[in-house]
Structures are given as structure tokens and as C-alpha cells.
Amino acid sequence: MANIGVIGSGSWGTALAWLLHNNGHKITLWSYLTEETEMFRQHHQNVDKLPGVVLADDVVFTCDLEEGIRDKELLVLAVPSPAVRSTSRNMKAHVRPGQIIVDVAKGIEEATLMTMTDIIEEEIPQAEVAVLSGPSHAEEVGKGLPTTIVAGAHRRETAELIQSLFMNPVFRVYTSPDMLGIEIGAALKNVIALAAGIADGLGYGDNTKAALITRGIAEISRLGTAMGAHPNTFFGLSGIGDLVVTCASVHSRNRKAGYLMGKGYSMTAAMEEVHMVVEGVYSARAGLKLSEKYQIEMPIIKVVNQVLFEEKPADVAVNELMQRMKKDELGAW
């Protein structure tokens, strides 16, 4: 049994706390909000974000960050991507040298173009940082429905430790040394999911979504490979696997926000309607900046930015995508 602190009590943090406790580990769940901690102590579930996933009586709920970190063999950082830097900064004083932090947030910081693990390593240099990602909606993980995910780390031993702590008959974990590829895929699939949702909102069909998913992973893999990631990562769990589920699932907040924008909602109104952080909105600009930095053509990422931040009508954006100049799919001619 391991002593594990889950830092962040949203839907994903709650689901992972439930899973890890079912695996036999001792769990402390930290929340930024005092009222949220009181909600957990009273109801043992996140009534607002993940109702029905009830945590055991011996799970410790706290809003004291030191209590969430002290004496823990492993920390799971499950705050939304915009809060990763500030939370990491606050964690620094309490993290011991070599303490493992597993990032499960998905995003790229717009100002610096850093991945989440890069940010954590910058803010908490004494920590050993890893990442866990893949097709894993909290709503299904919290019901014990089967899925498969990948743990990335600098050292094989760390990845295999994470694998052993998280893995069970319904939660299979692979390992990988390609942390960069895992994180690029995880962040940018949310932007493609916005596009898929917009297409759904416009009333387009399965053909449209299949095309967006296929060309979306092509864009992501081109960029990631140019940045130094392993090409195969983008055709694995954290690439095409996570992209498919995020573009197609009713649980996807990014797809839902896109769907509302396809129906005519503004970006702000769509985010308010979803009631949770829409990670793709925060990663869209970063993805566009990375495409410009590495001189990689990413037309879907570009038009999503135009819909989000330039008020381009969604149907016009789709039409422009379809009317682009003729291309060779393989670039082999």
C-alpha cells in the first residue's frame, strides 16, 4: 500500500482518488476551495462535477496543501492546466527531494509554450516529474469501465512504479519515455475536439468528424515530431486514442463547448454553459504559436483560433478548410 496525495479535486482528481483507493492505497485528496473540502467531508463525492462516484470513509479530505503533500510516496497533480504553475509554486516548499509528481493535466502554457511537466520541473526542481495520459474520461473511470492509458517518465523505474500503483483489471497502464510526445498529443487533441464539436453543432455528419480526427492527428504528429517527439507516440494511447474519445464522447467538455459554438454560442457563453475548464481554449493559441515557431502547417488549429478569438463564423471556417488548395496526402509525389 502506498501513501498518495491527489492535488486537485475536480472530476479527474476525484476519479483517480477513487481508483487508487480501490487499488488499496491510502489517499489524501486536496482541494483549493474550503467549501469543496467540506462538501467532500459531508458527501464523500464531488456533487457538482462527478456525482455518484463515492469515496471511501478513510479517504482524507483537506484544503491544507502541506497535509496533502507531507509523507506521500507519490503525488498526483490534477488541477486544471491554467492552475498548474501557481499550484506548483505553492507546493515547492513542501515537496521533498526526489518526491514523484505525476501530472494528469493536459495543456501548453501560452506565454512560455511549455508543457505541464516542464512547468512543474521549473517550479519544483527537486521533484521527479512524470505524466499520465490517454483515453480516460473521469465519468467512465469512476464507474470502473475498462480503459488503457500511458505513463511517461524520464526514468523507466519511475514509469514502472506508476504503472504498478495505478494498474488494475479495468485500468491498464503502459509505459513510455516520450513525455514530450504524450503531452503534445494530450494538449492539442483538445483543440481538435473543439473543431469536432463545432462540426456537430453545425449539423455535419460522421464523415466530417472522421476527416477532422484524421487530419487533426496528422497536424499534431507533424508538430510533435518537429519538436523532437517520437512519431509513434501520436498513433498510440495519448495521441489517436485520446483524440478519438475526446472528439466523439458525450463526456468531452471540449467537444461540448465546440458543439455550443457551432450552435451560435460565443466562446465565453459556451465555457460558462459547460461549467468546467475547457482546456482546448487555453491550448489553442499555444498550438498556433508552436506551429509558427516550428513552421508547421496546422490549418485546423488555425481556424479554431479564428473561431475562438476572431469571431469568425463557424460555417465560414469549415468552408475555408474545405476550399484550401489541393494537397497530396503523403507528400510523396
**Distance in angstroms (rounded) separating the CA atoms of residues 57 and 15:** 15
**Distance in angstroms (rounded) separating the CA atoms of residues 53 and 40:** 11
**Distance in angstroms (rounded) separating the CA atoms of residues 191 and 242:** 12
Helix (H/G/I), strand (E/B), else coil: 185: helix
Contact assessment for residue 243 and residue 257, using Cβ atoms and an 8 Å cutoff: no
CA 108 to chain centre: 10
Q: Catalogue the active-site residues.
A: 189
Query: 97 Cβ partners below 8 Å, 6+ apart?
Result: 126
| The amino acid at 44 | H
**Distance in angstroms (rounded) separating the CA atoms of residues 168 and 162:** 12
β-strand pairing of 147-153 with 128-133: antiparallel
Contact assessment for residue 301 and residue 281, using Cβ atoms and an 8 Å cutoff: no
